[in-house]
Amino acid sequence: MIIVPERAIAGLISAEQAFAAVEAVFASMAKGDAYNFPVIREALGEGRQYGFKSGLDRAGSNLGVKAGGYFPGNADRGITNHQSTVYLFDPDTGRPTAMVGGNLLTALRTAAASAVSIDRLARKDSKVLGMVGAGHQAGFQLRAAAKTRKFERVVAWNYHPDMLPTLGKVAEELGLPFKGVSLEELGAEADVIITITSSPAASLMDAHVRPGTHLACMGTDTIGKQEVEPSLLARATVFTDEVAQSITLGEAQHAIGSGLIKAADITTIGEVINGTHPGRTSDDEITLFDGTGVGLQDLAVAKAAVDLAVAKGIAIEVEV
């Protein structure tokens, strides 16, 4: 069994390698070669959350589970509140093959998902990237998105404006001019918008968004979270990682709940990758990717990390 500890992940797997792994597993899901098992999520008390995301990818020969959660007391102990570990197994024998630190991988696979959606669905001439959110994930989403189009600048809005300078530094590192703006300005200027907040109510409204925009809505991964006005989903062509999650705990839960769209209106991004759905069909179309986050993404990047660790000679091997 191979161990790749959390400390080894940084510098091991690039945004490009995470992108390739996530894109491939989205394609496998749409072909029916890979599927996610039901998610388990438990409240442990005192705000602690723990859960398991798991799945099987026959095409990628990958079976496993990400175990992890949110431990709000960790910050006081000097460790990150979100903790996760990925365990991989041989799909033929069930024997454990790897244990991989999952914290940074979670950030990378989430950023890869919005980047895949931009790559496949945004207008080729997209120049302005709009960011709604400026927390831990936002920088990762921005870095991955910057590789997909020749963006010339970034406009950003955050509910807590004092968090914007940290995101601004990421844009600066990427050589992209950065400006904090109102949501009205953001919608009027951006060709691509990434939403990555833990908001309980819509921030971005339908009227803010102009024709031709691509949105990657990444923050809503739980019942009760919401980032955009539901009527925007009715106006857009909606894509997702997994329809079952999109309609229950993703951004689409609200448009579905109010009867504005139905599950059949939502297409998996894997179908676009596989060429069985055309994706964007005009420059005026609004495309919206509801990125809910599935276990197979975690398994895909963990397997890539294991392969890279073995190739670089830094994998720790133990007998089990």
Site for ligand NAD in 53-92 (CB under 6 A): none
Site for ligand NAD in 286-315 (CB under 6 A): 291-293
Number of H helices, E strands in the chain: 11, 16
Nearer to ligand NAD, 196 or 309 (CB): 196
Backbone angles phi, psi at 270, to 5 degrees: -60, -35
The whole-angstrom separation of Cα 12 and Cα 18 is 11
Q: DSSP of 137-180, one letter per residue?
A: HHHHHHHHHHTTS---EEEEE-SSGGGHHHHHHHHHHTT--EEE
Question: Is residue 159 at the binding interface for ligand NAD, with CB under 6 A as the rule?
Answer: yes
CA dihedral 207, 257, 298, 83 (to 10 degrees): 90
Structure tokens belonging to residue 271: 């179908």
The whole-angstrom separation of Cα 55 and Cα 39 is 9
Nearer to ligand NAD, 136 or 147 (CB): 136
Question: Is residue 48 at the binding interface for ligand NAD, with CB under 6 A as the rule?
Answer: no
**Looking only at Cα atoms, what is the longest distance across the chain?**
59
Binding mask 98-127 for ligand NAD (x = CB under 6 A): --------x---x-----------------
Q: Which amino acid is at 124?
A: K
Binding mask 184-223 for ligand NAD (x = CB under 6 A): ------------xxxxx--x--------------xx-x--
Marked catalytic residue, from 53, 66, 225, 303: 66
* # residues near ligand NAD by CB under 6 A: 25
Query: Least distance in Å: CB of 250 to ligand NAD?
Result: 8
The residue ranges that bind ligand NAD (CB under 6 A) are: 106, 110, 133-138, 158-160, 163, 196-200, 203, 218-219, 221, 225, 291-293
* Catalytic residue ranges: 66
